[in-house]
Chain A
Amino acid sequence: MDTVTILLSSFILSVTGLLVFIWSLRRKLFERNAKGARAIFAAGEIGHIEDPGATRAGAQALQRVVAHGGADHTQPDQGALHARLEADRTSAQPAFIFLCCAVVWLVLASFAGLTSSLKLHNPDWLTNTPWLTFGRIRTLHLNVVAYGWAPMASFGIAIWMLPRLLKTKLAGGRYAMLGAVLWNAALIAGLVCIGNGINDGMEWLEIPWQLGLLIVAGGAMIGLPLILTLHRRTEKHLYVSIWYMGAALFWFPILFVVAKFPGLHFGVEQATMNWWFGHNVLGLFYTPMALATTYYFLPKVLGRPIQSYNLSLLGFWALAFFYGQVGGHHLIGGPVPEWMVTLSIVQSVMMIVPVLAFTTNQLLTLRGVLAAIPHSPTLRFIALGGLMYTLSSIQGSFEALRSINTITHFTHFTVAHAHLGLYGFVTMVMFGAIYFVMPRIMAWEWPYPRLIEWHFWLVVVGFAIYFVGLTIGGILQGLAMVDATRPFMDSVTVTLPYLEARSVGGTLMTAGHLVFAFHFAAMALRYGPKRTGSVILGNPFAA
């Protein structure tokens, strides 16, 4: 048998197996109103919005849109709401610590990223300081985002959601806080190493492995509350967010340990491992964390269960199965076994399945209530982030095709694509969730609602310029590179205006982050007008 036949038959076999597996878990895949979707609501709560991040007027407008102008006479079960408040209290402190770290890392990452961007079109700027050379500051940017902002925000939100999803108090919050200390200490040490030119030499895996061990230990401690809280849950149904969070918290340490194992990997094999890790840290860690967040906050704000909920089961298992095998598409045309690259391309295209499942969930849940989006800071960021997930995933599937990859590989197009996923999707979703969570943690309203608008528009406009500019620049760069009649330097000079556009976009994004960080700090210090009443507690019309 030749390779193609083996690949094809094993592919068909495994996809069939996957479908049977999903079928066995739940048969009513296309049921419109699944019971499980209601697990995040108290009895009688459906139809009632919850948006602590909105202003009082905003929350009222939101409620009117959701109720379609009609009055709702059902009252949520007060006992359940009270229990949830108690549960929120148990997660407040650990979640707060994670989110504070996240915001600090976000600001640092923005400046590192912006510096790198500026250096690409000002190559003689700041060349005398070793840690500011492009190759190091760019790497600092990546590591601060990848091991600072994104995981800290994800952990903070995940820990805050846990007791709500499992309808119990958080257990093991202390372990998580200790884990956060360990993780951040290792990260700081790792960044100092990178700045001083000490690194393991592989993209996404630069932090020296000795420090990587500490990160894994910290990550394991951060994962403990999940297991401990699962143990005392009072909710029978495991909501879709728990699947994603639970799996991601198990996936990440395994990925990291396999990738960092000293002395194990060699030559080209190391390259395949490198991109197995590189793509999985996105696909099996940040993505599931952000999806878990979207699946909770989107229906919760709207007071409306996820529509076609059982589809999310298909989405989850298809993601778990396909996403893990797409990493080889980073090595198309490289000196690696061809069957592996082909497998990765096929699975990249198969990623359309889980993405469509998620997109269907999101669109059906938002259908008829799109007018609610402007009234809710959380919805704004999360609905936009969800849309970016769909776009970046579809883009990624096509980008993996050989014909397109030949142009886009090795160019800034890939950088733009990576930012569409990690910024457009993950970061936007985390912003939205933080706007919801912080008022509950602090029992304090956002002091300056205007600043939320500033934050939103600065990052949206900035990122639009960033993404569109870099995408066009990347395509032009790729076209110049595959045209043998043009000198290589053409592929450099053609990108310059677009690299400058990226710096403009990046400046706006950084400004947005500063606005956000200032607002966050004001909130954390309980600064500003004192409004601690009914909106935070969920009933916008109460006195």
Chain B
Amino acid sequence: MENEFKLISGALVTLAVSASALVVLPYFQLQSVQPPQKLKDYSPEEARGRQQYISEGCVYCHSQQPRDASQAPDAKRGWGRAPVPGDYYYDKPHLLGTMRTGPDLFNIGARQPSIDWQLGHLYQPRAYTPNSIMPGFPYLFELKAQAAAGDKVVTLPPAFAPAKGVIVAKPEAIALAKYLLSLDHTYPIPDAAQAK
């Protein structure tokens, strides 16, 4: 090959083909997707919690995309039905994830609906799941001698509770827990919504 223009234009054409297939066509195909009726937008607090989820890098160990029953037993683990594009209508950025060092969280709000469980688990995962390898996030909590009015005290199993004082959740931890609780996509979807 002796012509740099052939080289560069050829290279740009192949990239254009690739971008059309993986970006432009999906863009137009998915543009008209509407949210399922029962799907709610995130509240401001849940949105802040979602931002916290992004900050802490939860996505690197948790997916939010259960696989179809024909492929894997994800539904049997309580992770829920296979999602449709509309389920992600309010998700910017998307948080589908590609690792399951921990379980899928697409329906964690339905599976563990208690905010006390969520907060305690964020503070020390091994208090609730022995052998878990998830890190705790103690910096989202405070150790106080006494809870003040309006403080959210974290209830912990005695073995994990502080010897003195109480563990109080910071607003970041509460927002994150609220976001996790909002992850509930158990509503039914019509068959036509399945992406093909």
Contacts and interface: CB of A to CB of B under 8 A. Distances in A.
Contacts of A276: 18-19, 22-23
B164 interface: no
B103 interface: yes
B135 A119 contact: yes
B4 interface: yes
Interface string B138-160: 11000000000000000000000
Contacts of A518: none
B131 interface: yes
B183 interface: no
Contacts of A414: 98-99
Interface string A322-334: 0111011011011
Given A127-B136, A340-B22, A482-B72, A324 B95 contact: no
Interface stretch (B26-34, B40-48, B113-121): B26-34
B138 A127 contact: yes
B65 interface: yes
Which of B57, B67, B139 has the most chain A CB within a 10 Å cutoff? B57
B33 A267 contact: yes
A121 B2 contact: no
Given A123-B134, A135-B57, A491-B100, A268 B8 contact: no
Interface residue range, chain A: 35 or more
Given A134-B135, A237-B2, A335 B87 contact: yes
A273 B4 contact: no
B133 A123 contact: yes
Contacts of B139: 127-130
A488 B100 CA distance: 10
B89 A267 contact: yes
A406 interface: yes
Given A135-B61, A270-B92, A321-B17, A481 B100 contact: yes
A133 B96 CA distance: 21
Contacts of A271: 88, 94, 96
A481 B93 CA distance: 27
Contacts of A26: 1
Interface in A2-51: 3, 14, 21, 25-26, 36
A471 to B, nearest CB: 15
Interface string A305-341: 0000000010001001101110110110111111110
Contacts of A335: 65, 82-85, 87-88, 96, 195
Interface in B168-196: 195-196
A521 interface: no
Given A198-B55, A317-B10, A267 B131 contact: no
A124 B22 contact: no
Nearest to B54: A201
A21 B10 contact: yes
B112 interface: no
Contact of A201 (B7, B59, B61, B129): B59
Given A133-B135, A230-B4, A250-B12, A267 B63 contact: no
A483 B77 CA distance: 10
A325 B89 contact: no
Given A333-B71, A335-B88, A127 B18 contact: no
B18 A325 contact: yes
A251 B54 contact: no
Interface in A369-422: 402, 406, 409-412, 414-415
Nearest to B102: A492
Contacts of B138: 127-128
Contacts of B29: 337
A134 B2 contact: no
Contact of A243 (B7, B99, B102, B195): B7
Contacts of B96: 268, 271, 331, 334-335
Nearest to A488: B103
Q: Of residues A130, A138, A324, which shows the largest number of chain B Cβ atoms within 10 Å of its Cβ? A: A324
Contact of A250 (B6, B8, B61, B92): B8
Contacts of A199: 54-55
B131 A340 contact: no
Contacts of B132: 123, 489, 492
Given A136-B57, A325-B17, A336-B26, A410 B135 contact: no
A3 B196 contact: yes
A305 to B, nearest CB: 16
B163 interface: no
Contacts of A484: 73, 76-77
A230 B6 CA distance: 14
- Give the interface centre of A266, A325, A493 by most chain B CB atoms within 10 Å: A266
A280 interface: yes
Given A26-B1, A199-B55, A330-B98, 18 more contacts: A127-B136, A197-B52, A201-B93, A243-B7, A247-B11, A265-B93, A267-B94, A268-B33, A268-B195, A320-B14, A321-B14, A333-B71, A334-B65, A337-B30, A337-B196, A339-B196, A410-B63, A496-B133
10 nearest CB pairs, A to B: A135-B57, A324-B18, A197-B55, A484-B73, A247-B11, A276-B22, A410-B100, A201-B93, A267-B88, A201-B54
Interface of A: 3, 14, 21, 25-26, 36, 119-121, 123-124, 127-130, 133-136, 138-139, 197-203, 230, 236-238, 242-243, 246-247, 250-251, 254-255, 258, 265-276, 280, 284, 313, 317, 320-321, 323-325, 327-328, 330-331, 333-340, 343-344, 402, 406, 409-412, 414-415, 481-484, 488-489, 491-493, 496, 499
Interface of B: 1-4, 6-8, 10-12, 14-15, 17-19, 21-23, 25-27, 29-31, 33, 52, 54-61, 63, 65, 67-68, 71-73, 76-77, 82-85, 87-89, 91-96, 98-103, 125-126, 129, 131-139, 195-196
